Amino acid sequence: MSKGRNNLARLITAIERDELSQDQQNALREQAQFLSATVPVLGITGTGGAGKSSLTDELDSALPPRQCR
């Protein structure tokens, strides 16, 4: 995994574990505002067997092809 992906993975884990201070959360929200003009991305995480693949299969079949790719 690249260094950028490792950092992103650590950040996601910290968010999931509620390890970020309020200031850090606010800074992330401010930075995320600038991403709204780009292509939307949905991240699905969870333990093995949680149903991630089943969920993505359902989303894929429910959305029009151009929105899901």
* pLDDT tens for each residue of 15-56: 989 999 999 988 888 887 776 666 677 889 999 999 999 999
Vertex 50: Cα angle to 3 and 48 (nearest 5)? 50
Instruction: Tell whether 6 and 32 lie within a shared domain.
Output: yes
* Res 24: pLDDT: 92
Instruction: Tell whether 53 and 33 lie within a shared domain.
Output: no
Instruction: Tell whether 19 and 48 lie within a shared domain.
Output: no
Instruction: Tell whether 32 and 51 lie within a shared domain.
Output: no
* Res 69: pLDDT: 47
Instruction: Tell whether 30 and 59 lie within a shared domain.
Output: no
Amino acid at position 19, single letter: E
Domains in the chain, number: 2
20 or 64, higher pLDDT: 20
Q: Are 60 and 68 in contact (CB under 8 A)?
A: yes
Instruction: Tell whether 14 and 46 lie within a shared domain.
Output: no
Query: How does residue 61 score in pLDDT terms, banded at 50, 70 and 90?
Result: confident
pTM beyond 0.85:
no
Instruction: Tell whether 29 and 3 lie within a shared domain.
Output: yes
Domain with 52 in it: 40-69
